[in-house]
Amino acid sequence: MARYIFITGGVVSSLGKGLASAALGALLQARGYSVRLRKLDPYLNVDPGTMSPFEHGEVFVTDDGAETDLDLGHYERFTGVAARKTDSISSGRVYSNVLERERRGDYLGKTIQVIPHVTNEIKDFLKIGADEVDFMLCEIGGTVGDIEGLPFFEAIRQFGQDMPRGDCVYMHLTLLPFIAASGELKTKPTQHSVKELRSIGIAPDVLVCRSESPIPEKEREKLALFCNVRPDSVIAAMDLKSIYEAPLAYHHEGMDSAVLAAFGITDAPAPDLSKWEDVADRVYHPEGQVRVAVVGKYTQLEDAYKSIAEALTHGGMHNRVKVQAEWIDSEIFDREDAADRLQGYHAILVPGGFGERGTEGKIKAAAYAREHQIPYLGICLGMQMAVIEAARNLAGISNAGSEEFDHESAGQRRFEPVVYHLKEWLEGNRTIQRKADDDKGGTMRLGAYDATLAAGSQVAEIYGSTAISERHRHRYEVDMAYRDQLEAHGLRFSGVSPDGRLPEIVEFKGHPWYIGVQFHPELKSKPFAPHPLFADFVRAAVEQSRLV
């Protein structure tokens, strides 16, 4: 049976609970324990799948097709444990499940209430897979005191009472603001946050305090006294140059030791941190630098492309170079010439997205990379834009476009759709069918699907295999009816679904590195195991930098 660690936050949001949870999971693994990490989000959306990237950042997709919070990406990158549908739940999903049961009559006519029915639903979720790992780390989204988070806090309070004594530990992450005028770190916000937590029946065992500077011993003792934790359980979490330093920094501060001590575990093996020492060395001691232009639609918020940013970093670490990713709003090419803006970059990446806005700029970026022999990686919509660019400028289909954009034009057809809505695909032994006007939530091709790569292709060489599995999240697909026409002009369909019906990868013959993929390779990249496509993409950027 797993021991549980609940990670809560206070004072302000966005302090890094997800990173702290992931780093703690990595430290427990380094001591030989098995872990699984979970996220409980208080928002009422069933999942973040229909939320704007400006609202919530990227949507992280699991192998089994769940659309989840980006923190699950942190969990995977730091622990290497593949997330599952059962590792993410929201208030919307909880209430939806409860109401479905009420409609079926499962509650036998009882009055449905937050306590016990909603809290029981949350506790049932927490118990899933409890016999599979040594430690289950559960992060509660938002901050203590948020009205929508109260059922989750109540559920984890009850859960601690239900479990055997000593099997649950509560870790609280707060902020220690620095007041420049007085030159002091202020502990009062943290004291108030812990008071709020204790008022609902949860006493933190470990206190993690974000600060810009080390915590003086006097303030550490003050926090321990007023927050009722041991002094060695007050952990400083200072700002870091790289998130991949977090496991080493938190271990140095004693986080993993404090958590194990709270469980009464005194004979834990010493951690083997050699893997993280190597990661930190690669981050802080690069042997060169490359510039990569990321031409996207949501560049105002870097979290919208969080996994891509991290995968580029992993590719840089693999090649011992620093990747300077520069985020360019694709709409800028409505006003500027792409050649003027993209000159000097060693590689161009066009990520995914939804809707027509900014797509003409992405097409221009794809054209510039093709014409100037610059390494190009197109992901999801980025692949579709590369195909449309080739159809327009090489195959003579001047009005080539996507059905997605015509669909937005109230039935007015403006394009010949070389990209159309995905009507049918195989999921195991089942045939999945979709219509263009289906609900948006959860109706895409989601999760891991196999693909077959052409022998002798560039991607087969990169992967070292002709059989791969990658994660998808898309509603539109390149039409295979145009395959022969496009291949006649050099755009090779080098990866397809096992049944040959769906295109997965395109590449340009004669180009040093020009690849478009319908899936999202960034979701499987890790600092100690970079995704092959990103590792080779950065390698190609390094080669390009030597030519400039």
Residue 220: helix, strand or coil by DSSP?
helix
> What is the pLDDT at residue 47?
87
Positions marked active-site: 380, 520, 522
CA 227, CA 204: separation in Å to the nearest integer?
8
Q: What is the pLDDT of residue 270?
A: 95
Q: How far apart are the first and last CA of the chain?
A: 58
Q: Which of 129, 131, 130, 134 is nearest to 32 (CA)?
A: 134
In tens digits, the chain (548 residues) has pLDDT values of 899 999 999 998 888 999 999 999 999 999 999 999 999 999 998 888 888 776 778 999 999 999 999 999 999 999 999 999 999 999 999 999 999 999 999 988 899 999 999 999 999 999 999 999 999 999 999 999 999 999 999 999 999 999 999 999 999 999 999 888 887 889 999 999 999 999 999 999 999 999 988 889 999 999 999 999 999 999 999 989 999 999 999 999 999 999 999 999 999 999 999 999 999 999 999 999 999 999 998 877 778 899 999 999 999 999 999 999 999 999 998 887 888 889 999 999 999 888 888 889 999 999 999 999 999 999 999 999 999 999 999 999 988 888 887 654 445 667 788 888 765 545 555 555 555 555 544 567 899 999 999 999 999 999 999 999 999 998 889 999 999 999 999 999 999 999 999 999 999 999 999 999 999 999 999 999 999 999 999 999 999 998 76
Assess contact for 155 and 122: CB atoms under 8 A.
Answer: yes
- In the prediction, which pLDDT does 440 show? 47
CA dist 494 and 517 (Å) reads: 10
- Tell me, what's the pLDDT at 538? 98
Q: What tokens appear for 544 in the block?
A: 């390009």
Q: Which two tokens stand for residue 356?
A: 């027509």
Angle between helical axes of 306-318 and 71-79 (0-180°, round to 10)? 20
Q: Is 109 left (phi over 0), alpha (psi -120 to 50) or beta?
A: left
Cα–Cα distance between 422 and 494 in angstroms, integer? 20
> Quick one: which of 70, 74, 545, 94 has its CA closest to 345?
545
How many CA within 13 A on the CB side of residue 452? 9
Of 295, 533, 506, 520, residue with least CA distance to 418: 506
Listed residue (334, 343, 352) closest to 374, CA to CA: 343
In this predicted structure, what is the pLDDT of residue 37? 98
Neighbour order of strands in the sheet with 206-211: 88-90, 35-41, 135-140, 3-9, 168-175, 206-211, 234-238
Which pLDDT does position 299 carry in this prediction?
Answer: 79
pLDDT for the residue 48: 86
Distance CA 268, CA 365 (A): 53
Residue 268: predicted pLDDT: 93
Looking at 187-273, list the stretches that DSSP marks H as alpha helix, in order from N- to C-terminal side. 188-199, 217-227, 246-253, 255-262
Domains and CATH numbers, the chain: 3-279 (3.40.50.300), 286-547 (3.40.50.880)
- Residue 518: closest CA among 493, 487, 485: 493
Integer Cα distance of 511 and 348 in angstroms: 14
Among 380, 377, 355, 359, CA closest to 518:
380
Task: Supply the pLDDT for residue 430.
Answer: 59
The whole-number pLDDT of residue 425 equals 44
pLDDT score, position 548: 66
Helices (H), strands (E): how many in the chain?
Answer: 19, 25
DSSP 512: S
What pTM was estimated for this model as a whole?
0.92
Angstrom distance (rounded) from CA 459 to CA 506:
9
Q: Find the helix or strand (DSSP H, E) in which 76 lies.
A: helix 71-79
- Among the listed residues 509, 506, 440, the one whose alpha carbon sits nearest the alpha carbon of residue 479: 506
Greatest pairwise CA separation for the chain in angstroms: 75
